Chains A and B, each alone.
Chain A
Amino acid sequence: MTNSLKKAPAKARKQETDDERYLLRLYVAGQTPKSLTAFANLKKICEEHLKDSYSIEVIDLLVNPTLAKDDQILALPTLVRRLPEPVKKIIGDLSNTERVLVGLDIRSF
C-alpha cells in the first residue's frame, strides 16, 4: 500500500554523498493525498535547493506506530530535520515553499 513511498527513500539514499548535510525524515500515515503532495513538494524543494547534500527518509506511522511517540509526532505529514542540529519540525503538505525553506534554514542557499 505504501509501495511508491517506500521506494522514495531508497532513491534518495542513492544520492548520499560524504558532504551530505541534510538528514530529513518525512512522517506520513499511509498513502494519503496529503502525504503524496508533501513528498512531491519536499522532493522538489530539495532538488532545487539542496542538490545532492540531503537524504530523505519516509516513515509510515501505520507501519511503525511506536515512532509517533518516540519522535513526538502529532500532525501529519511532518517533516523533521534531524541534521544539522537543532532538530526542526515542519508540518503540513509543504505547499508553501518559502516557509519550508525558512523552516529548514536553507534560505542562504
Chain B
Amino acid sequence: MVKPAKLSTKSATPETDLLQKAPTGIKGLDEITGGGLPQGRPTLVCGGTGCGKTLLSMEFLVRGATDYNEPGVFMSFEEKSDELTKNFASLGFDLNDLATSKKLLLDYVHIEKSEIEETGEYDLEGLFIRLGYAIDSIGAKRVVLDTIEALFSGLSNETILRAELRRLFRFLKDKGVTSIVTGEQGERTLTRYGLEEYVADCVIFLNHNVSQQIATRRMRIIKYRGSAHGTNEYPFLIDEQGFSVMPISSLGLDHPAATERVPTGIPRLDTMLAGKGYYKGSSILVSGTAGTGKSSMAAHFLDAACKRGEKCIYFAFEESQNQIIRNMRSIGIDLEPWVKKGLLKFQNSRSTLYGLEMHLVTMHKVIDQFEPSIVVIDPISNLVAAATEMEVKSMLSRLIDYLKMKQITAFCTDLTATTGSAVQTEVGISSLMDTWFLLQNIEAGGERNRGLYILKSRGMQHSNQIREFMLTDTGVHLRDAYIGTGGVLTGSARITQEVRDKFESLTHKQEIERKQREIERKKTVIEAQIAALHAQFEAEKDELDLVLTRENMREATLKQETLTMAKSRQSDDFIPKMTSAGIAVKGVRK
C-alpha cells in the first residue's frame, strides 16, 4: 500500500527543479512564504497553547478544499470531529458541508493511556492504514495531524514512537501530500517532544505574547528549506474570517506621488493650501491640544469626500460611532447618511484592546476589504497607550507607507499635551507627514480662541498665517486674519481691537480733514495778503507815474517857457546852443 505511492512520487520529484509550493490561501502567509507551504512535504507548526495552531492548520485545509480544489484530511488527536465542526462554525467554516462533498475528512484519533495496556513489541501501522485510507478515500492532497504529540502521552514506548514518527513523515512525503504537523512548544525546544527533528522542511512558529497586559499574536518562519522566506516576526490576527498575517515590514519607499488634489472640506482652508487642498495619497497631521477641533476638521474632510462619492474609513480610538455622529451634528455635519450609504465606515476600538501590531493588522484588513480613498485615524497619540513611543512610530510609519502605496489619503489627528512643545508631536512622526496643521488654543482676555496654522505642507504653496477659526453650527469657519498694530488677536480681543482700530482711523481721518481745512484757510489768508500787497504796489506805481508825468509836464512847460522867453528876447544864436546842450541848460537852471 505504501510502496506504490512511494515510487510514483519519487519519479515525479526530479522533474521539478524548483520547490513546488502549495498555497495556503491564508491572507499574508503565502506572501511571507513566497507562495505557500512546501508541496508534498510536511510542515511543522509549533507554538504554545492557544496560539492558533489548529486554526492555521484547519484553514489551510479549508482554503485548499474550497479555493484550490485540494481535498484534505484532518486527523485530530485532541478534539472530536463534532467539537471541531462546532468550533469552526464560529469562524464561518462549514466543515460538515465540506465533509459531505468529500472535500474534507475529519478523523478523531482517541488515545487514552488508561485504556491501553502495552505488552511487547508493536508499531503504528494501524495509524498508517487509517491515514492512508483516509487520504485515498477522498484523494486528499493535504493532511493535518493535530497534534501528533498526543501519541507520546498515550503510549509509553518512546523508542518505538520515534521510529514510527520518522516512518510517518516518510510515509506522508511518499504519499505526496502537503502536510501540517502541529506541536506544542517545549520549555527549551520548539516542540515538547522534538518533532522538529523529523520535520525538517518547514517550521513555522506561532507566538502569543502578552506585554503590558496586551496580547499580540506573532508568527515566524524558523526554517524553510529550499526557499527564501520572510524572516521577521509577523503579527497575525484571528477573527471571524479566520487567520490573517500581515507582511508589513516588507514595505519600501517607492510609493507613487500623485499631483491630484483633494479638497479639505473647508473652503477657506483650501485657499490656505494654494487653493486646492491636500495632495491625494498624502498624509495629513493635525495636532493640537484637547478641544481644538481636530475631529471636526476630520469630519469636514470626510463629509466632503463622501459628497464626492468616495469611500472613507474612520478609525476612532476614543469615541464610539454614535458619539462621533452626534457630536458632529452639533457643527452641522451629518455623517450618518454616509454610513448608511456604505461610503463611510467606522472602526471603533480602544487602543488598549490589543497590541499595536494587531491594530495595524486590523487596519490593513479593514482597508483591504473596504478600499477607501481616505482614512482618518483619530487620534494617533492614543496608540501610545498600547505600546512604547518607538513602537508606535515604527507602526505608524509602516501604516503610512502602506496607505501611500495604496494612494489613500491619511488624515491623522494628534493630541498634544497642553504643556508640551507645540512643534513636537506626541509620537514624533511629524517627519512622516506631508501636511501638518497645528491647532492652538489662544488664551487671552479671559477666553480661549481657536487658532490654526500650517506648519508645513510639502510640495505646495501655503499660507504662513495664523488664522482664527470658529466651530459654529454650520461647521468650521475660518475668520479673516486680524493683521494690525496689536499683532494677531483673536475672539473678543480681536473684535475690541477692530473697534479700536476703527475709532482710531476715524479720528485720524478727522484730523486730516481738519488739517486740510486749516491749509485751505491759510491759503485764503496768504492770497488775501498777496492781493493787498498787489494793491499797494498798484497804488505806489500809480503815484510814481503821476509824479513822473508831472515832472515831464513841468519840464516841457519849462522848455516852452524858456523858448518863449528866448523868443521874446529874440536871441537867435542862443537857441541852437540851448537845444544842443540841454544839460548845460539844466545846470544853469539848477
The answer to whether A61 and B129 touch (CB under 8 A), given A69-B134, A75-B155, is: yes
Least distance between B124 CB and chain A CB atoms (Å): 6
Please tell me which one of the listed residues A61, A65, A100 contacts residue B117 in the complex, with CB atoms under 8 A apart: A100
B129 in contact with A89 (CB, 8 Å): no
Asked whether B253 is an interface residue with its Cβ less than 8 Å from the other chain, the reply is no
The answer to whether A93 and B122 touch (CB under 8 A), given A69-B134, A74-B111, is: yes
Asked whether A95 is an interface residue with its Cβ less than 8 Å from the other chain, the reply is yes
Asked whether B1 is an interface residue with its Cβ less than 8 Å from the other chain, the reply is yes
Which residue of the partner chain B has the closest CB to A60?
A: B129
Least distance between A70 CB and chain B CB atoms (Å): 10
A38 to B122 Cα, complex, angstroms = 10
The answer to whether A95 and B119 touch (CB under 8 A), given A69-B134, A74-B111, is: yes
Residues of A within 8 A of B107 (CB): 69
The answer to whether A34 and B130 touch (CB under 8 A), given A62-B1, A74-B109, A75-B155, is: no
B133 in contact with A66 (CB, 8 Å): yes
Of B123, B154, B155, the most chain A CB neighbours within 10 A belong to B123
A34 to B129 Cα, complex, angstroms = 16
Residues of B within 8 A of A91 (CB): 116-119, 122, 155
Residues of B within 8 A of A94 (CB): 119-120
Asked whether A9 is an interface residue with its Cβ less than 8 Å from the other chain, the reply is no
A88 to B151 Cα, complex, angstroms = 18
Which residue of the partner chain B has the closest CB to A104?
A: B117
Asked whether B197 is an interface residue with its Cβ less than 8 Å from the other chain, the reply is no
| Proximity string of chain A (78-105) to chain B, C-beta cutoff 8 Å, 1 when within and 0 when not | 1000000001111111111001101100
B126 in contact with A68 (CB, 8 Å): yes
B120 in contact with A89 (CB, 8 Å): no
Asked whether A29 is an interface residue with its Cβ less than 8 Å from the other chain, the reply is yes
Residues of A within 8 A of B154 (CB): 74
Q: How many residues of A contact B (CB 8 A)?
A: 34
Asked whether A4 is an interface residue with its Cβ less than 8 Å from the other chain, the reply is no
Asked whether B127 is an interface residue with its Cβ less than 8 Å from the other chain, the reply is yes
Of B125, B134, B151, the most chain A CB neighbours within 10 A belong to B125
Least distance between B431 CB and chain A CB atoms (Å): 61
B117 in contact with A77 (CB, 8 Å): no
The answer to whether A89 and B116 touch (CB under 8 A), given A69-B107, A95-B121, is: yes
A68 to B134 Cα, complex, angstroms = 10
Asked whether A27 is an interface residue with its Cβ less than 8 Å from the other chain, the reply is yes
Asked whether B110 is an interface residue with its Cβ less than 8 Å from the other chain, the reply is yes
The answer to whether A77 and B122 touch (CB under 8 A), given A72-B110, A89-B115, is: yes
Which residue of the partner chain A has the closest CB to B130?
A: A68
A88 in contact with B126 (CB, 8 Å): no
B122 in contact with A75 (CB, 8 Å): yes
The answer to whether A75 and B117 touch (CB under 8 A), given A29-B129, A69-B130, A69-B133, is: no
Asked whether B132 is an interface residue with its Cβ less than 8 Å from the other chain, the reply is yes
B130 in contact with A93 (CB, 8 Å): no
Please tell me which one of the listed residues B117, B118, B134 contacts residue A88 in the complex, with CB atoms under 8 A apart: B117
B126 in contact with A75 (CB, 8 Å): yes
Chain B binding site: helix, strand, loop or mixed by DSSP? mixed
A29 to B131 Cα, complex, angstroms = 14
Please tell me which one of the listed residues A92, A102, A103 contacts residue B122 in the complex, with CB atoms under 8 A apart: A92
A87 to B119 Cα, complex, angstroms = 17
B117 in contact with A102 (CB, 8 Å): yes
B1 in contact with A34 (CB, 8 Å): no
Least distance between A59 CB and chain B CB atoms (Å): 11
| Proximity string of chain B (516-559) to chain A, C-beta cutoff 8 Å, 1 when within and 0 when not | 00000000000000000000000000000000000000000000
Asked whether A73 is an interface residue with its Cβ less than 8 Å from the other chain, the reply is yes
| Proximity string of chain B (482-525) to chain A, C-beta cutoff 8 Å, 1 when within and 0 when not | 00000000000000000000000000000000000000000000
Asked whether A76 is an interface residue with its Cβ less than 8 Å from the other chain, the reply is yes
The answer to whether A99 and B126 touch (CB under 8 A), given A68-B133, A69-B134, A74-B111, is: no
A100 in contact with B122 (CB, 8 Å): no
A65 to B134 Cα, complex, angstroms = 9
Residues of B within 8 A of A78 (CB): 122, 126
The answer to whether A96 and B125 touch (CB under 8 A), given A62-B1, A73-B130, is: no
A29 to B2 Cα, complex, angstroms = 13
Please tell me which one of the listed residues B109, B119, B127 contacts residue A92 in the complex, with CB atoms under 8 A apart: B119
Residues of B within 8 A of A88 (CB): 115, 117
Least distance between A2 CB and chain B CB atoms (Å): 14
Least distance between A48 CB and chain B CB atoms (Å): 15
Least distance between B146 CB and chain A CB atoms (Å): 15
A96 to B111 Cα, complex, angstroms = 21
Please tell me which one of the listed residues A32, A65, A75, A87 contacts residue B133 in the complex, with CB atoms under 8 A apart: A65
B126 in contact with A61 (CB, 8 Å): yes
| Proximity string of chain B (117-159) to chain A, C-beta cutoff 8 Å, 1 when within and 0 when not | 1111111111101101110000000000000000100110000
A96 in contact with B120 (CB, 8 Å): yes
Residues of B within 8 A of A61 (CB): 125-126, 129
Residues of chain B having any CB pair with chain A under 8 Å = 1, 107, 109-111, 115-127, 129-130, 132-134, 151, 154-155
Residues of chain A having any CB pair with chain B under 8 Å = 27, 29, 32, 34, 37-38, 41, 61-62, 65-66, 68-69, 72-78, 87-96, 99-100, 102-103
**Pairs A-B, 5 closest by C-beta atoms:** A103-B117, A95-B120, A65-B133, A92-B120, A68-B130
Q: List 29 A-B contacts (CB under 8 A).
A: A34-B121, A34-B122, A34-B123, A62-B1, A65-B129, A68-B130, A69-B107, A69-B133, A69-B134, A72-B109, A73-B130, A74-B126, A74-B127, A74-B154, A75-B126, A75-B155, A76-B122, A76-B125, A77-B122, A88-B115, A88-B117, A89-B116, A90-B116, A90-B118, A93-B122, A95-B121, A96-B119, A96-B120, A100-B119
Beyond A69-B134, A93-B122, 9 additional contacts (C-beta under 8 Å) are A29-B129, A61-B125, A69-B107, A75-B123, A90-B119, A91-B116, A92-B119, A94-B119, A99-B118
